[in-house]
A and B are shown apart, each in its own frame.
Chain A
Amino acid sequence: MQRKRSFWSGGLRDSGINPQGFHPSQLKFYVVLLPLVVFMLLPIIFIFSHAFKPPDELFAYPPRFFVVNPTLKNFTDLFNKMSTSGVPVSRYLFNSVVVTLVTVAASILVSSTAAYALSKKRFKLKQTLFAINTVALMFVPIAVTIPRFLVIQKLGLLDTFAVHILPGLAMPVGLFLIKQFIDGVPNEVVEAAQIDGASDLLIYWQVILPMIVPAVATIAILTFQATWNAADISTLYINTESLKTFAFYLTTLTATTAGANVVAGQGLAAAASLIMFLPNLIIFILLQSQVMSTMSHSGLK
Chain B
Amino acid sequence: MATKTGEQNLLLPPRASTGQPPAGAVRNWLNKEGSAYAFLSLYALAFIVFIVVPVAAAGLLSFTFFDTIQPPQFTGLRNYIVLLTQDEIFMRYVLPNTIQFAVIVGPGGYGLSFLLAWMLAQLPKLPRTVLALILYSPSMTTGVAMTVVWRTIFSGDQNGYLNSFLLGLNVIQEPVQWLQSPQYLMPIMILVTLWSSMGVGFLAMLAGILEINPEMYEAGSLDGISNRFQEIVHITIPSMKPQMLFGAVMAIVATFQAGAIGVTLSGGNPTPQYAGQLIVNHIEDFGFLRYEMGYAAAVSVALLLMVLFFSRVANRLFASED
Q: Which residues of A contact B (CB under 8 A)?
A: 3-4, 6-9, 13-22, 26, 29-30, 32-33, 36-37, 40-41, 43-44, 46-47, 50, 59, 61-63, 65, 109-111, 113-114, 116-118, 121-124, 126, 129, 133, 136-148, 150-151, 155, 166-167, 169-170, 172-173, 175, 195, 197, 200, 204, 222, 225, 229-231, 247, 250-251, 253-256, 266, 269-270, 272-273, 276-277, 280-281, 284-285, 288-289, 291-293, 295-296, 298-301
Contact = CB atoms under 8 A, between A and B. Distances in A.
A145 B269 CA distance: 16
19 contacts: A37-B131, A44-B137, A44-B138, A129-B40, A143-B307, A146-B58, A147-B55, A147-B297, A273-B146, A285-B133, A288-B132, A289-B129, A295-B203, A295-B206, A295-B243, A298-B204, A300-B246, A301-B242, A301-B322
A33 B131 contact: yes
B39 A29 contact: no
B54 to A, nearest CB: 4
Contacts of A109: 42
A299 B208 contact: yes
Contacts of A169: 42-43, 46, 50
A7 B293 CA distance: 60
A151 B33 contact: no
A94 B248 CA distance: 37
B61 A147 contact: yes
Contact of A47 (B10, B35, B49, B149): B149
B209 interface: yes
A273 B144 CA distance: 8
Interface residues of B, number: 111
Contacts of B93: none
Interface string B140-162: 11111111111111000011110
A36 B116 contact: yes
A299 B148 contact: no
Interface string B115-149: 01001111111010101111111101111111111
Q: Is the interface of A mostly helix, strand, loop or mixed?
A: helix
Interface string B42-58: 11101101110111011
A18 B161 contact: no
Contacts of A40: 134-135, 137-138, 195, 198
A40 B11 CA distance: 59
A137 B253 contact: yes
Interface in B170-218: 195, 198, 200, 203-204, 206-215, 217-218
Nearest to A246: B144
Contact of A276 (B11, B144, B210, B300): B144
B207 A292 contact: yes
Given A46-B149, A62-B164, A247-B143, A147 B39 contact: no
Contacts, number: 318
Interface in B38-82: 39-40, 42-44, 46-47, 49-51, 53-55, 57-58, 61
A29 B115 CA distance: 11
A15 B137 CA distance: 27
Interface stretch (B16-24, B83-91, B256-264): B256-264
Contacts of B253: 137-140
Contacts of A4: 211, 213
B143 A229 contact: yes
B100 interface: no
B126 to A, nearest CB: 10
B308 interface: yes
Given A114-B40, A270-B148, 10 more contacts: A16-B122, A19-B123, A113-B43, A133-B47, A136-B51, A200-B35, A250-B144, A255-B267, A276-B144, A299-B204
A13 B240 CA distance: 22
B57 A225 contact: no
A270 B132 CA distance: 26
B147 A254 contact: yes
A145 B307 contact: no
A143 B122 contact: no
A151 B148 contact: no
**In the complex, the 4 A-B pairs of residues with the closest C-beta atoms, listed nearest first:** A299-B242, A114-B43, A121-B36, A117-B39
Contacts of B127: 30
Nearest to B136: A284
Contacts of B283: 143, 145-146
B28 interface: no
Nearest to A167: B50
A291 B202 CA distance: 12
Given A140-B253, A284-B133, A299 B245 contact: yes
Contact of B243 (A138, A288, A298): A298
B280 interface: yes
B59 to A, nearest CB: 9
